[in-house]
Structure 1
């Protein structure tokens, strides 16, 4: 099972300069709790934008066209089929976590979408690809708590393919 997992602003911004353009600890906590013990798939730019930091207690797959790319502690894959075949062999969901090109490639193959919707506008240079929402059903939406650390209104949404 493939699940896409991301946070976005009102305009679909998901990144700026290979970083998140916001700081929202509640979303980071949600991400960690959701993916702990699971496999995450990201593009090379996303991985490098995280400082090539391996996420603890997760299997990390980095997708790149560079056949010489390697980094200790990750799996490197070069094609969509490699990732799809890997996901079919897993007992647990595999999470697609970005960036935009990776989302664009894998959204048609996802069974579920987990979106943190931030009700704010940020400057950004990376956007979530266009999603045909007619193919998806919102099955849950939970309002996030706004406080001193989580300054932006947000909600956690789960969609399942119709």
Structure 2
């Protein structure tokens, strides 16, 4: 079965988005995101797809999990209607299933995910979409990278890999 990873960046208070987009500039996080999702199946919801402005992520299979059979998706995106369908496609292609948002898709996959990659941004910036704290009774945390705010990164940051216990 394809490995299921969830990947997101959040502020100290759990913010992952504001008004349908990511409200910060973190080059280190975007580089890490690319490294983890390239040549994989990137699974997202409708709003995450829309936030890309019609442009699919290159060198990935871009899948949109939806219940709306009438949803029009731009070139480079495929629709899937169930989690099992998404997982089967990733499995058949020998790829990881990288869940990249939004909140409802994360919530659906948290109980079955194998790995979480969370970039923590050291700010209390408040948005309108929040992730709950990672349950330390379910996940083992390992900090795998960190850095300071600079010209390419709005905030100090650290990336934590969580592996299911």
Q: 2:146 aligns with which of 140, 143, 148?
A: 143
1:61 to 46, 60, 63: 63
2:29 alignment partner in structure 1: 27
The Cα offsets for residues 65-94 of structure 1, whole Å up to 9 and x where unpaired, read as 110223321110112222233333342311
Q: Is the 8 A contact 2:13 2:126 kept in 1?
A: no
CA contact (8 A) 1:100 1:129 kept: no
Q: How many pairs align?
A: 162
Give the aligned CA root-mean-square deviation in angstroms.
1.5
SS in 2 for 1:114: strand
> How far did residue 139 of structure 1 move?
2.8
Give the structure-2-normalised TM-score. Answer: 0.91
- Secondary structure at the aligned position of 1:88 is classed as helix
Mark the runs of 5 or more structure 1 residues left unpaired by the alignment: none
Of stretches 94-103 and 79-88 in structure 1, the one that deviates more from structure 2 is 79-88
> Bigger shift: 19-28 or 89-98?
89-98
Question: How far apart are the structure 2 equivalents of 1:65 and 1:161?
Answer: 28
For the 8 Å contact 2:26–2:153, the answer to whether it is kept is: yes
Shift in Å at residue 2 of structure 1?
0.3
Equivalence map 1:86-97=2 (5 Å): 86-97=89-100
Contact residue 103 and residue 129 of structure 1 kept, 8 A: no
Q: What residue number does 1:80 align with?
A: 83
User: Conserved in 2, the CA contact under 8 Å of 1:96 and 1:102?
Assistant: yes
Distance 1:16 1:151 in 2: 16
Q: Give distance in 1, aligned partners of 2:42 and 2:132.
A: 19
